[in-house]
Amino acid sequence: MRTPLSSILLVLFASFIGSFGAVFLKAGAGRLHRELATLLLNWRLAAGIAMYLASFVFYYLGVREGELSILYPMVSLGYIWTLLWSRLFFAEPISRRKVAGLALIIGGIIVLNLGNR
């Protein structure tokens, strides 16, 4: 079974939107308090969930055709986008620990993928 380019692009796009979903979830979660209104009137959380759903739809369309063993590791690119957005929007430092952890994780996913062929 071959993996069409359209599937690859759909999954890439899904990882991109998903990483922005995480940014909005984080922004919304920071405004959560004991009052129910902070959950129900939280547009940031709603936007984050909407982006997660959109990401899910693109992922779902992407994996209908093609090999999961190729498409699945591509989702891990979302971790790199998220590292950049965390620095940009939340001023979280990009520490050696984070880069090393992320490199191990992405390396592990690629190695794991070799075993699925």
**Which residues form the interface with other proteins (CB under 8 A)?**
19, 22-23, 25-26, 28-30, 32-35, 45, 48-49, 52, 56, 60, 63-64, 68, 72, 76, 78-79, 82-83, 85-87, 90, 92-95, 97-98, 100-105, 107-116
Nearer to other proteins, 70 or 102 (CB): 102
Question: Whole-angstrom Cα distance, residue 30 to residue 23?
Answer: 11
Question: Whole-angstrom Cα distance, residue 28 to residue 56?
Answer: 20
CB of 9 to other proteins, least distance (A): 18
CB of 5 to other proteins, least distance (A): 19
| Residue spans of alpha helices (H) in 1-117 | 5-29, 37-40, 43-62, 68-74, 77-90, 96-114
Question: Whole-angstrom Cα distance, residue 13 to residue 74?
Answer: 10
Nearer to other proteins, 9 or 68 (CB): 68
Nearer to other proteins, 12 or 102 (CB): 102
Question: Whole-angstrom Cα distance, residue 91 to residue 97?
Answer: 16
